Amino acid sequence: MPPAPPPIPRCDACFKEIENDDVFCAYCGYPIKGTKVEQSAFILKQNKIDYYKAEIKKKVENRIDKGATTLFCLSGLFILAAIIGFFKLQDNPQVLAFVIPYLILGIIFLLLGEYSKKKPLMCFVSGLCLYIIAELYDISERPQASPLGIITIFIIIVFLVLGIKSAVEIEKIKKENNIS
Amino acid sequence: MLPLEDELPDKKPCIKCGTLIALDGKFCNQCGARQSAQNTNAPVNSWGLLQQAGLFFGIDIVVCALAQFVEALKTFSFFLFSDIVMAISAVLFFSLNWKESKTLLKWQNFSWQKLAAYAAIAMAMQVLVHYSVDWLNLVVYSKDDDYVQHLNGNLFGTFLVVFFTAIAPAIFEELGYRGYLLQTLLKVADKEQAVYITSFLFAIIHMSFLSLFWLIPFALFLGFVRIKENTLWYGVFFHFCFNLTACIFQLL
């Protein structure tokens, strides 16, 4: 029976494999051969960084949630418009031409909201641009705008832009840590 | 003789003390110095880049929206004007970062077979799109759409049709979207998201709900071709063949 292999030395901070003669961990920079004080100072600093990262993440995730809710609300609004339009124009031969664009918009926003957890940047940028075009089309059809309508448009755009901003931060963190 | 094989290093010197360490090591295991990678050395201003891309797309939105939604501007001269504005904006934004953009204009992996294959795919796609769009238009709008109604008849008109629907869009849309926009987004996000965003924006700028169903796959294909081949020219050629087939359908 062959003798049991010696246990692989591991870093005390990140638990990755290390070499016996390493002075510092190659993965996290933990002072393996340092004094107790140096080691606990390192752990303390690492915990602080983790804490801040978690804080930022919480803030960013909160904004992403708001963006996703905005997309879902938009989807609901467009589908509602399609349904109302369908019953209003039931007898008009052009009814499909009116209903289908709204229905497509509703479905697209629903999909964007659904995927915004996985690919936030893509969903918010697409959602914002599509919403702006839809609004421009709407304004060209009905030039008289109500103040309430303008405030709604403004709020929706602000939420989507904040969503994009947070998504950019997430992408930055991903790129820095080489997470795909 | 393969001198390169022997020179491929599996270790690199630490940037502080010079000890040979593992290539993927983030810290020196002798002195503890952080071995920062090149990309973390110079952080990109993602938000700024995104705003710049927003300006590019905003110009296109304004011009396209004016041309599409304002009844008074549905004239040939405004159509010409909007095309020129979009072409200039595409060229300007593309040349903003000329050093990087330049590499996209190279065509190192040129091959006739690939070119022919892309042309065949483009034409097949257009035939498919042509018949399905005709069918959809008849079902939904009960009308036939003719988007080159301004240019009619003679040889010069035919040339103009080919130029405005096949040559100019192929070059300028590729420069703007697969060139500038995709290149910028690649710095902000990962490959997949960059291609998806570009394709979606490219599709909605055409301002036609019915066309979304073929524009998005079309743009996705172009985006992935551009990433895979690392040159704009296959995309330009593909786009040209696609639009030229549409042109032929119009002129027949």
Query: What is the domain range of residue B25?
Result: 3-39
Residue A27 touches partner B, C-beta closer than 8 Å: yes
Distance from the B68 Cα atom to the nearest Cα atom in chain A, whole angstroms: 9
Reported as a single tens digit per residue, the pLDDT across B152-173 is 566 777 788 788 888 888 999 9
Residue B177 touches partner A, C-beta closer than 8 Å: no
Q: Is residue B44 part of a domain?
A: no
Of A26, A129, A174, the CB nearest to B22: A26
Q: What is the pLDDT of residue B221?
A: 94
Tokens read off for B134: 């005709």
Reported as a single tens digit per residue, the pLDDT across A4-60 is 667 778 888 888 888 888 888 888 888 888 888 888 888 888 887 777 777 777 777
Does residue B230 share a domain with residue B149?
yes
CB atoms within 10 A of CB A165: 16
ipTM of the complex: 0.75
Cross-chain Cβ contact A171/B142 below 8 Å: no
- Does residue B210 have a pLDDT over 80? no
Distance from the B196 Cα atom to the nearest Cα atom in chain A, whole angstroms: 7
Q: Is residue B154 part of a domain?
A: yes
Percent of chain A at pLDDT above 70?
A: 93
Q: What is the pLDDT of residue B225?
A: 92
Does residue B35 share a domain with residue B56?
no
Does residue B131 share a domain with residue B34?
no
Give the predicted TM-score (pTM) of the model.
0.77
Distance from the A2 Cα atom to the nearest Cα atom in chain B, whole angstroms: 31
Q: What is the pLDDT of residue A79?
A: 93
Q: What is the pLDDT of residue B139?
A: 64
For residue A34, what is the DSSP state?
Answer: S
Q: Is residue B47 part of a domain?
A: no
Which residues make beta-bridge pairs with B21?
A: B12
How many structural domains does chain B have?
2
Residue B10 touches partner A, C-beta closer than 8 Å: no
Q: Is residue B230 part of a domain?
A: yes
Does residue B209 share a domain with residue B94?
yes
| pLDDT tier, B46 (very low <50, low <70, confident <90, very high otherwise) | confident
Q: Is residue B153 part of a domain?
A: yes
Does residue B29 share a domain with residue B151?
no
Residue A53 touches partner B, C-beta closer than 8 Å: no
Nearest CA in chain B to A123: B197
Does residue B83 share a domain with residue B143?
yes
Does residue B90 share a domain with residue B23?
no
Does residue B166 share a domain with residue B227?
yes
Reported as a single tens digit per residue, the pLDDT across A92-124 is 777 777 788 888 889 999 999 999 888 889 999
Does residue B126 share a domain with residue B86?
yes
- Does residue B40 have a pLDDT over 70? no
Q: Is residue B112 part of a domain?
A: yes
Does residue B215 share a domain with residue B169?
yes
Q: Is residue B85 part of a domain?
A: yes
Does residue B141 share a domain with residue B28?
no
Does residue B201 share a domain with residue B106?
yes
Cross-chain Cβ contact B140/A96 below 8 Å: yes
Q: Is residue B28 part of a domain?
A: yes
Count CB pairs under 8 A between chains A and B: 110
